[in-house]
Every structure is written in C-alpha cells, then in structure tokens.
Structure 1
Amino acid sequence: MRLKAFFIGFFFLSILPGCGGDSGGQAAVPVDGASQSEAQPVGLASLLKEDCSLEKFRAGLGALAAGDVRLLERSLEDAIAGTEAEVGRQTVEMQRLSADAGLGSEARALRDARKARSRELVLLKNKRLIVARNNAASSK
C-alpha cells in the first residue's frame, strides 16, 4: 500500500513543472501576443532534456541568444530545485523503509530511483556551471 501511495505521489509531482522528469521536452510555439522570450525555443528544449550530454550542451549553448541563455539558466535552477526536493523525499522514504523492512523489493526500487535522480541532479548542476562559465566569459 505504501508503494502505491508513493508512486501516486510521485506521479503527481512529476507532472508539476520543475518537479522531476523532463523540464522542457516540448518545443514551444509563440502564441499571439506572447514574446519570443516567453516561449521556449526548440534548441533550448533539446538542451534541457535529460539525455543531452555535456558535450552537446556546450556545443548548443554557443548557438543560443543571450535571452535564451537567461531562460535556460532559470529553467536549470527550477529543475535543480525540483530534483533536490525529490532526492530529499526519496532519502527520507529510504530511511523509513530500511528501518521497517530491510532491503525488500520496494526499498531496492526506491534506492535505484534515488541513485538515478542523484545522477540527474549532478548533470543539472554541471550544466548550470557551464552556463555560469559561459556567461562569465561572454561578459569579459
């Protein structure tokens, strides 16, 4: 029952913007009256995807306009905050499960999910660092 409640909660958190999963998987098309900076460009969405390597990220960052870089930085900050919150929740849940039942299948699945989210968090932080270095280099 706890596993079912956990996955239901995780599902609802994953559909919220910035809380888990992909923060920008779809290409946004500007709506009438919306400026280009409010809509997420196709290149920006591909840079935010989880499967975008750091090499592709560096290469794609050079092709973005200054406004898009600021939008990318904000999107990365939101994704990092959501991922940190999710890793924290999973850590607490793991501690509760390990105290209750040892390493059952539920605890192993949660441990594996936490490791994956932790790897995603490291990747997001590395991308944020690349953006910060790019901003510092371009401001000189």
Structure 2
Amino acid sequence: MTTPPPPHPFFVYGTLRPGEPNHDLFLRGRTHSEERARLHGAALYDGPGYPYAVEAPGAVIVGELVTAHPEAYPQLLRELDRLEEYAPGDPRNLYERVERRVVREADGTVVRAWVYLAAPTVAAGLRTHGKLIEGGDWLNRR
C-alpha cells in the first residue's frame, strides 16, 4: 500500500502562475492562498513552450507558493502530476515532483513545498544546450 504524500503547498514558476494559461485551468477557485516566493538552488530554462527548473547552486527562481484548499488538494495533486507528465519512478518523466524549501517574499519564512524539477535526463540536456532565463522569472523572459 502506497502512503499518500504530505499535503505541501506547491511552488509554481511558469504556466501555473497568475496570468499564465494554466493558472485559471488548474488553480482558480481551488487555492487558499497564492504568495510570491523564491526557490534557491535552482535555475530556470526556457523549454519548448514552458519552463523547466534545474538544480543549480547559487541560482534563484521567482514564483508563487500556492496552498490548495484541503478538500481540493488530492485531486489537484493528481492533475498537476498529469500536467507535468510526472509518475513516481517512471524513467520517461519530464519532471520530478520533489520537496524543497521555498522562501516567502513577504516575510522571509521558509516553507516546505512541492516543486516540479526537470527530470535528470531533461536537466542534463538543458544544462548543455538550453536557454537560461536570466533572473529566474518566467514572467520577465521576453
């Protein structure tokens, strides 16, 4: 029997951010709070149409810390895993859902959150041939 993951908030840094296409599709009406936050130790790369977070010491990604309504959490977790093409242990994953420490911009508190990082093979390709998003903010990529 598989133990369900703890109900952490999600750190979103790309198409799930407010104003981006997947925010309304997946998050509208299902969140308790959305707060500006930063993920330290990761860099942001421009993938084909969407971003990838890649572990990188000293780098920072800007995004939002999204806390789901408790009753919406289980379904939202399943839907976000599907959106990000993540399945536990699947070698074909584009992303891996991992627990990381995220810093709230408002008060500097540290929160444990789910983050979708590029899977190892995707991350290796991005480090070699990817387009780094300077400043780590998807909304300022243009």
Q: Same fold (TM over 0.5)?
A: no
Answer 1 or 2: which has greater strand percent.
Answer: 2
User: Radius of gyration: which is bigger?
Assistant: 1
Q: TM-score w.r.t. structure 2 length?
A: 0.24
Bigger relative CO (Cα 8 Å, ≥ 6 apart): 2
